[in-house]
């Protein structure tokens, strides 16, 4: 081997050594094996961090989704609660309406005899529950009127507070259609009536019923202070708002006013509410159906009283 070849080999070795030293310097004095292991570990760490980040993000999204679902569930629960509350409120209103007429009997036993004039207005044969109620009260043992000649009437009316109420009345079957038509017209025209209950709710005491300003019809009794049967005994007379439309009798120079407490309403020239006169709607309706009015009598006045002689 000549000297030139030796120099070339030596130069190549020196170049290799220099490159190795320079590479080590750039690698932070790590060998290639150490550098490879180090960067492999960093890559693994980076991958783990990325995976952890991804998992955290997924967990966050899952938590958010869970929160949204929970909110939706809460919203649904709240909505259901509101709907239930609204339903309960509606039920209360319905129950309130039913309570108003809760005393109206269950009358399936005579439902086949019912004649309906309009919604809330009908009459029928007396139900067993009503017969039980009136027996020995407004319908005494010696009553000469057959139960078959009487009709149980149900009607709506507007009370003094402006509220719609359900009333009940017993009348003779011959005037049942008149009762339906008259009281339906009064109701449609917002005519005020304080109370329409059976006289039996007052133990068949006519005075007590009048003092309560109760409108009624049938009551098997004699006329006031007499033995002759009243037209109420046959169910063809109706007393309307009696407290404001009293009975006024003149006898032996004295004046008797019934019921007690209605004295101020005996003066028919005075202006006050619920007064029946010839301009009053009730007067016009009853007289147009063939009823006579006690306010037109001569020997006495009975401003509450309407009767149909040929009922």
Looking at mean pLDDT, say which of 14-23, 85-94, 146-155 comes out highest: 146-155
Does 30 reside within a domain?
Answer: no
Range of weakest confidence among 1-5, 191-195, 236-240, 259-263: 1-5
Question: Are residues 192 and 259 both part of a single domain?
Answer: yes
Are residues 238 and 215 in contact, defined by beta-carbon separation less than 8 angstroms?
yes
Higher pLDDT, 18 or 219: 219
pLDDT at 86 over 50: no
Query: Which pLDDT score is estimated for 101?
Result: 44
CB proximity list for 213: less than 8 A, separation 6 or greater: 194, 195, 241, 242, 243, 244
Query: Which pLDDT score is estimated for 224?
Result: 66
Question: Are residues 164 and 296 both part of a single domain?
Answer: yes
Cα–Cα distance for residue pair 293/177, rounded to 1 Å: 19
Cα–Cα distance for residue pair 191/198, rounded to 1 Å: 20
Q: How confident is the model at residue 26 (pLDDT cuts 50, 70, 90)?
A: low
Residue 127, token pair as written in the block: 């139900």
Closest CA to 284 of 309, 306, 311, 310: 306
Range of weakest confidence among 85-89, 251-255, 260-264, 305-309: 85-89
Question: Are residues 93 and 232 both part of a single domain?
Answer: no
Q: How confident is the model at residue 134 (pLDDT cuts 50, 70, 90)?
A: very high
Instruction: Please count the other Cβ atoms lying within 10 Å of the Cβ belonging to residue 187.
Output: 20
Helix, strand and coil content of the chain, in percent to the nearest 5, comes to 50, 20, 30
Question: Are residues 73 and 141 both part of a single domain?
Answer: no
Q: Partners of 248 in the beta sheet? A: 257, 301
Task: Find the domain containing 155 and state its range.
Answer: 108-307
Question: Are residues 185 and 268 both part of a single domain?
Answer: yes
Cα–Cα distance for residue pair 199/171, rounded to 1 Å: 12
Question: Are residues 92 and 193 both part of a single domain?
Answer: no
Q: What is the DSSP letter of 47?
A: H
Does 210 reside within a domain?
Answer: yes
For range 151-180, the mean pLDDT: 98
Does 41 reside within a domain?
Answer: no
Does 267 reside within a domain?
Answer: yes
Question: Are residues 269 and 189 both part of a single domain?
Answer: yes
pLDDT at 74 over 70: no
Query: Which pLDDT score is estimated for 227?
Result: 76
Share of the chain above pLDDT 70, in %: 67
Does 43 reside within a domain?
Answer: no
Does 230 reside within a domain?
Answer: yes
Does 33 reside within a domain?
Answer: no
Q: Which of 71, 100, 129 is the last residue of a domain?
A: 100
Helix (H) or strand (E) holding 250: strand 247-251
Residue 23, token pair as written in the block: 């590479």
Does 158 reside within a domain?
Answer: yes
Q: CA of 187: how far to CAs of 102, 157, 165, in Å?
A: 20, 5, 10
pLDDT at 269 over 60: yes
Q: What angle do CA 285, 289, 295 make, to 5 degrees?
A: 65
Looking at mean pLDDT, say which of 5-14, 56-65, 198-207 comes out highest: 198-207
The side-by-side arrangement of strands in the sheet containing 292-293 is 237-239, 305-307, 292-293
Query: Which pLDDT score is estimated for 4?
Result: 61
pLDDT at 93 over 80: no
Helix (H) or strand (E) holding 293: strand 292-293
Tens digits of per-residue pLDDT, 191-229? 999 999 999 999 999 999 999 999 999 999 887 666 789
Closest CA to 126 of 138, 141, 114: 114
Domain count, the chain: 2
CB proximity list for 278: less than 8 A, separation 6 or greater: 295
Q: How confident is the model at residue 19 (pLDDT cuts 50, 70, 90)?
A: low
């Amino acid at each position: 081997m000549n000297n030139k070849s030796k120099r070339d080999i030596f130069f190549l070795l020196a170049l290799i050594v220099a490159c190795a030293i320079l590479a080590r310097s750039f690698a932070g004095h790590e060998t290639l094996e150490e550098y490879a292991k180090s960067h492999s570990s960093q890559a693994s760490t980076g991958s783990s961090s990325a995976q952890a980040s991804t998992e955290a993000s997924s967990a966050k999204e899952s938590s958010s989704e869970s929160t949204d679902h929970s909110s939706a569930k809460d919203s649904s629960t709240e909505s259901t609660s509101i709907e239930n509350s609204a339903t309960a409120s509606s039920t209360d209103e319905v129950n309130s309406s039913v309570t108003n007429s809760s005393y109206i009997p269950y009358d399936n036993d005579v439902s086949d005899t019912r004649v309906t004039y309009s919604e809330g207005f009908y009459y029928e044969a007396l139900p067993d529950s009503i017969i039980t109620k009136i027996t020995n009260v407004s319908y005494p043992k010696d009553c000469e009127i057959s139960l078959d000649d009487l009709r149980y009437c149900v009607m709506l009316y507007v009370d003094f507070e402006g509220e719609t109420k359900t009333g009940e009345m017993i009348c003779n079957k011959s005037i049942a259609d008149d009762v339906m038509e008259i009281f339906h017209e009064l109701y449609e025209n917002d005519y005020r009536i304080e109370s329409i209950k059976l006289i039996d709710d007052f133990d068949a005491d006519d005075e007590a019923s009048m003092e309560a300003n109760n409108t009624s019809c049938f009551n098997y009794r004699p006329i006031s202070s007499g033995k002759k049967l009243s037209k109420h005994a046959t169910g063809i007379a109706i007393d309307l708002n009696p407290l404001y439309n009293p009975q006024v009798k003149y006898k032996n120079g004295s004046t008797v006013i019934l019921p007690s407490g209605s004295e101020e309403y005996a003066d028919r020239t005075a202006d006050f509410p619920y007064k029946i006169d010839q301009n009053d709607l009730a007067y016009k309706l009853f007289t147009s159906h063939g009823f006579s009015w006690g306010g037109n009598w001569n020997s006495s006045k009975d401003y509450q009283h309407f009767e149909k002689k040929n009922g």
